[in-house]
Amino acid sequence: MQITAAVMEKPDGVLARRRIKLEKVELEDPREDEVLIRVTSCGVCGTDKGCIHGLEPFPIPGVLGHEGAGVVEAIGSRVSLVKTGDRVMIGVPFCGHCLTCRRGEPRYCQNYMALTSSGYRMDGSSPMSRDGETLAGRFFQQSSWVPNTLALERQLARAHDGLDLDLTGQYGCSISTGAGTNFNELKPYPRSSIAGFGAGNVGLGAVMAARMTGATTIIAVDEVAERLALAGELGATHTLQHGPGTVEEPKALIRDNVDFSMEATDGSNLVSEAIEALGVRGTCARMGGAKLTETVQYKFADVPLKGKRIVGAMGGGGQSPMFLEDLMRLQLEGRFPLEKPVKFHDFADVNQAIDDSDAHKIIKPILRMQ
């Protein structure tokens, strides 16, 4: 079928970043394990922007978008988990047969990079082409900045009745990353303290989740005042403007007992600060994005002397997509007000949504495709 896709091209010398243009693209029919989805919306996430700014890898020309949600239009011959008409969101893909997938941790699939960033299926093919030219049309196996796309059956989660479908795509990346890091990795215990560096959608998802744990001190750190105000509304007990004092201030607030810290920035790399801010036996979870060659520094004796731990939290861990449906249940009960940071944009305004997000004018842009 022919669709209109947001195609990423090389910089044209006018914009500093890579260009996104809406163009006619040919989309294949679903293969036996694939599902054709009428995409109703898709978020603009940090990893999309990382690719647009050349910080994270993705082939050009290609189609981004990895927080898609929509309605199943057709299914492949071996698909049994969903049927035509189901409302679904598209989670992070996993291969299902590597060692970590078989151990029940698909967010750490050993084929993760091939499935997310190569732009192609595992067999090297792509379902999207433009005038006979193959496009990288498989970002996170979904490339959802389109009105129709294909995805793998196993990466889909059903949206519960009663939920606004266009809010659920965020569970595919930003929200599950922030929330899952709390629920699956850090698991804050009663009266513990947690400091989040970065209050974008990942950091705000973390704050919303932290409020549902035993943590009684939840500190949000960011440079943008509007984000901090929202963090306070969503459950942060303290908010700190990022600056020279943001390592010492959390310590001072709770007498050097920061139990957990989270680095959730979109390219600022505050990992060193998040580690330094911890108290004795504290754990820092890394879930933010930055250039893949970035490095982190910390004082040599600090980590062993205080028994600190540093953990990676890819996408928040958890057994996707089951975990995503569990999070949606919390939203259904009103415990996850993830609509608050969102601003919807028409698909045609994709470039404006990217630029407004880059300029920190909005926290979470979501594109409406239909």
Spell out the residues 6+ positions from residue 35 whose beta carbon is closer than 8 angstroms to its own.
72, 74, 75, 76, 79, 82, 88, 150, 151, 152, 153, 156
Whole-number minimum distance, CB 33 to Zn ion, in Å?
14
List the one residue out of 123, 128, 98, 127 whose CA is nearest residue 110: 98
d(CA 332, CA 26): 37
Give the nearest distance from C-beta 106 to Zn ion in angstroms: 6
Q: How far is the CB of 140 from Zn ion (least distance, A)?
A: 8
Q: Which of 5, 101, 206, 278 binds Zn ion (CB under 5 A)?
A: 101
Min CB(318)–Zn ion separation in Å: 14
Nearer to Zn ion, 67 or 185 (CB): 67
Of 105-113, 123-131, 243-251, 338-346, which part binds Zn ion (CB under 5 A)?
Answer: 105-113
Name every residue whose Cβ is closer than 8 Å to that of residue 320 and which is 6 or more positions away in sequence: 91, 92, 94, 106, 107, 155, 157, 176
CB nearer to Zn ion: pick between 101 and 195: 101
Minimum CB distance to Zn ion smaller for 254 or for 363: 363
Least separation in angstroms between CB 247 and Zn ion:
27
Site string for Zn ion, 24-53 (x = CB under 5 A): ---------------------x-x------
Provide the minimum distance between the beta carbon of 237 and Zn ion in the complex, in angstroms, as a whole number: 27
Residues numbered 250 to 289 that lie near Zn ion (CB under 5 A) are: none
Q: Does 239 bind Zn ion (CB under 5 A)?
A: no
**Contact pick of 51, 52, 64, 109 for Zn ion (by CB under 5 A):** 109
Of the pair 209, 247, the CB lying nearest Zn ion is at 209
User: Total residues at the site for Zn ion (CB under 5 A)?
Assistant: 8
Min dist. Cβ of residue 179 to Zn ion (A): 13
Q: Which is nearer to Zn ion, 116 or 239 (CB)?
A: 116
In whole angstroms, the minimum distance from the beta carbon of 46 to Zn ion comes to 6
* Interface segment toward Zn ion; rule CB under 5 A; list 94-102, 150-158, 220-228, 243-251: 94-102
Assess 170 for contact with Zn ion (CB under 5 A).
no
In the bound state with Zn ion, the residue whose beta carbon lies nearer, of 154 and 238, is 154
If binding is defined by CB under 5 A, does position 98 make contact with Zn ion? yes
**To the nearest whole angstrom, how small is the minimum distance from the Cβ of residue 43 to Zn ion?**
8
Nearer to Zn ion, 109 or 195 (CB): 109
The two three-digit tokens of residue 340, written as one number: 């608050």
C-alpha triplet 128, 357, 181: angle, nearest 5°:
85
Beta bridge partners of 69: 41, 89
Compute the residue count for the chain. Answer: 370
For Zn ion, the closer of residues 170 and 246 by Cβ is: 170
Q: How far does the chain reach from its first CA to its final CA, in angstroms?
A: 16
Return the number of the residue (70 or 279) whose C-beta is nearest Zn ion.
70
Distance CA 8, CA 58 (A): 10
Draw the binding track, 172-211, toward Zn ion (x: CB under 5 A; -: no contact). -x--------------------------------------
Closest separation in Å from C-beta 52 to Zn ion:
12
* Residues at the site binding Zn ion, with contacts judged by CB under 5 A: 45, 47, 94-95, 98, 101, 109, 173
